[in-house]
Amino acid sequence: MATITGTKLKSFGEQFNDRISKNQLNYALNYIDFGEEPLAFETLCDYICEADIFITKNEYEQICIFNSLFNYPLGREFIIYLKNLIKYS
């Protein structure tokens, strides 16, 4: 059973349904079902960065919150890279 944080992470990840392949998204988010929320988070962020997927400022802020909740698995350089993916409309 997923934790509250895991449930929130799954909802957050599902926002990328049209930007990340279904297989990759399922692969990342399935870690939540095994109690591996930090790994799910890292994998999701890896896919975002590998494909240079644009994110919103709100999504970036959510990523920073999850990073804090999971005790900062994403390093400073990773966070800066994600910040550069923000698309302002």
Each residue's pLDDT tens digit, 78-88:
999 999 999 98
Residue 73 located in a structural domain: yes
Alpha helix locations (H) across the chain? 4-14, 22-30, 37-50, 57-69, 76-83
Residue 79 located in a structural domain: yes
Residues 35, 60 contacting (CB under 8 angstroms)? no
The identity of residue 29, as a single letter, is L
Question: pTM (2 decimals)?
Answer: 0.94
Residue 88 located in a structural domain: no
Query: How many domains does the structure of the chain reveal?
Result: 1
User: Which residue is it, tokens 């990840």?
Assistant: 13
- pLDDT tens digit sequence for 26-71: 999 999 999 999 999 999 999 999 999 999 999 999 999 999 999 9
Domain extent at residue 68 = 4-83
Residue 64 located in a structural domain: yes
Residue 8 located in a structural domain: yes
Residue 57 located in a structural domain: yes
Residue 14 located in a structural domain: yes
